[in-house]
């Protein structure tokens, strides 16, 4: 049993470190919180090395395993929330569609933002009278605001410019929602929140907490090597937003 546990710890640790290099290779600009993977990797490898050490008291081994089980249960519960939003859609005839911004690269929208734009075009016929709020500020390394990029891309795809309102000051999901809400006629308006699928549950929950009583998530498909990272990151972000009172 001890040998098996040692093998599992070390294997998980190596997998975490390897996944970090996969993320590093897959992302041109790096991913936020990606350092959790090498840190977890080192922790598990060290635990594997010393898992059968007689110098470590048995009570410490038991405490560590119990803590690990509690942490795993918490992550699984949070991931259940994340998964619940992966295929979210809204009923027809929304009054507003809030398109949450994502990174703008030097050569145009990032893959995450491009998928959100695709989701707008896929559902726009179901919401013919909806006002579109393009939401997102400009990072220090972005060539333009995310809101402006959303607007220009949608116009290029045939969306009437008069339907689009810019909200170009936000830098986080809670600001996306609050600043967009200030541009709406009523917080009770039927509102679709368009974002990547792993982000839908948190974004919609934040919207409802902020007073958008009829908010619905609209999931933009997201696949690839980085999706697992983003889903794990969402679990951390849910806890952070809860502690900040955003959920």
Mean confidence (pLDDT) of the chain: 94
Confirm if 2 and 51 have CB atoms less than 8 A apart.
yes
DSSP 3-state of 196: strand
- Give the tens place of pLDDT for each residue, 33-72: 899 999 999 999 999 988 888 888 888 888 988 999 999 9
* Segment 84-98 mean pLDDT: 96
Q: How far is CA 117 from CA 54, 195, 209, 240, in A?
A: 57, 9, 25, 27
**Residue of 116, 170, 113 whose CA lies nearest to 138:** 170
Residue ranges per structural domain of the chain? 2-84, 96-243
What sign results for the dihedral spanned by CA atoms 196, 199, 205, 207? Answer: negative
Looking at CATH, the fold of the domain delimited by 96-243 is given as Rossmann fold (3.40.50)
Q: What is the pLDDT of residues 156-203, one digit of tens each?
A: 999 999 999 999 999 999 999 999 999 999 999 999 999 999 999 999
Identify the bridge partners of residue 165 per DSSP, sorted by sequence position: 133
Residue 16, pLDDT > 90, answer yes
């Amino acid at each position: 049993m001890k040998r098996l546990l040692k093998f599992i710890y070390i294997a998980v640790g190596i997998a975490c470190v390897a996944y970090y290099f996969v993320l590093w290779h897959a992302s041109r600009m790096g991913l936020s919180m990606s350092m959790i993977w090498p840190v977890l990797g080192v922790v598990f490898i060290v635990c594997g090395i010393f898992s059968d050490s007689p110098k470590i008291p048995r009570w410490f081994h038991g405490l560590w395993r119990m803590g690990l089980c509690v942490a795993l249960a918490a992550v699984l519960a949070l991931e259940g929330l994340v998964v619940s939003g992966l295929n979210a859609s809204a009923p027809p005839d929304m009054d507003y569609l809030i398109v949450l911004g994502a990174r703008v690269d030097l050569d145009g929208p990032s893959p995450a933002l491009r998928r959100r734009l695709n989701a707008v075009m896929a559902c726009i016929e179901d919401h013919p009278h909806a006002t579109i709020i393009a939401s997102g500020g400009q990072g220090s390394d972005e060539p333009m605001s995310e809101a402006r990029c959303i607007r220009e891309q949608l116009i290029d795809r045939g969306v009437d410019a008069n339907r689009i309102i810019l909200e170009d000051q936000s830098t986080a999901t809670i600001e996306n929602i609050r600043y967009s809400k200030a541009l709406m006629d009523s917080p009770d308006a039927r509102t679709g929140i368009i974002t990547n699928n792993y982000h839908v549950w948190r974004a919609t929950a934040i919207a409802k907490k902020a007073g958008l009583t009829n908010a619905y998530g609209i999931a933009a498909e997201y696949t690839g090597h980085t999706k697992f990272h983003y889903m794990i990151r969402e679990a951390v972000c849910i806890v952070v937003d809860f502690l900040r009172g955003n959920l």
